[in-house]
Amino acid sequence: MTRKYIYIIGVFLFVGISHIKAQEPQYVKADSLKVVSLLGEAAKADKTTNWVLFFSKRLEGIPYVAKTLEKNDKERLVINLQQLDCTTFVETVMALSLCAKNKQTRFDDYCRSLRMLRYRGGMVSYPTRLHYFTSWIADNTTLGFVREVHQPDSIFTQTQTLAIDYMSQHVEKYPMLVKNPSWVKEISDIEKALNGKKYRYIPKTEIANTHAFRQTIHDGDIIAIVTNKKGLDTSHIGFAVWRKDGLHLINASQIHKKVVNESMTLYEYMQKHPTQIGIRIIRPL
């Protein structure tokens, strides 16, 4: 065999190994141990357990860190239970909940659930990551993981018409897009496909502690906070939990720098944020 052919074979092997490595989940041992421990604990819990609240409570106190998915040159399935932002918190809880619901206890099961939740069609790449939460809702509705609640009309009184272009217009805020400008066109196409779609939401001024609201919003529902910030659909997400004084939000909080069960009601919380205009409700199935 000539030196030329040996070189070519070596190149193919390197590319193949690099591709396989890029598809492998990225995590440290502490992450896999924590996942297995949490799923093992869930396996011993009552089958009627609200899994979202079960896992949310066990993740309280984990530090808030933004852009933990934006630190690689190439897209990887990142598993990080040491640092969470609002989206990775919700995805982590949802992936754990799916495993618990299906009586799965292996780390591989968790990775598979997270991959399906985070990426369109479960295909790991930057453009197929469900960056906009409206895309996340639609894809996971198709998979049967969630459904959006938009009734009754007396509570969902407003409509949001999407006009999305934030990522393509603010590339500098996304490190992986900066490194890979060829992806911007794909992101822009995704934005254009969303534009014009309409979604019912509850205005923040009308959130109330009433029987009708308690019947409409359930403990463990995903609360997607609708924003009037140009180019975006939502600006923050978390989980609903009712207390005696009203509806509260469990979230990875940039303000508190950790995962918290907010002490103030959601109504009080949202009055402090002028760009937050209301909420959409997504129910885990």
261 DSSP β-pair partners: 250
What is the rounded CA–CA span in Å between residue 255 and residue 272? 12
pLDDT tens digits, 193-202: 999 999 999 9
- pTM, to two decimals: 0.91
Q: Average pLDDT of 96-115? A: 98
Question: Residue 41 belongs to what H/E stretch?
Answer: helix 29-43
pLDDT per residue as tens digits for the range 117-174: 999 999 999 999 999 999 999 999 999 999 999 999 999 999 999 999 999 999 999 9
Percent of the chain at pLDDT > 90 equals 90
SS3 208: coil
**224, two tokens:** 């997607």
**pLDDT number for residue 5:** 45
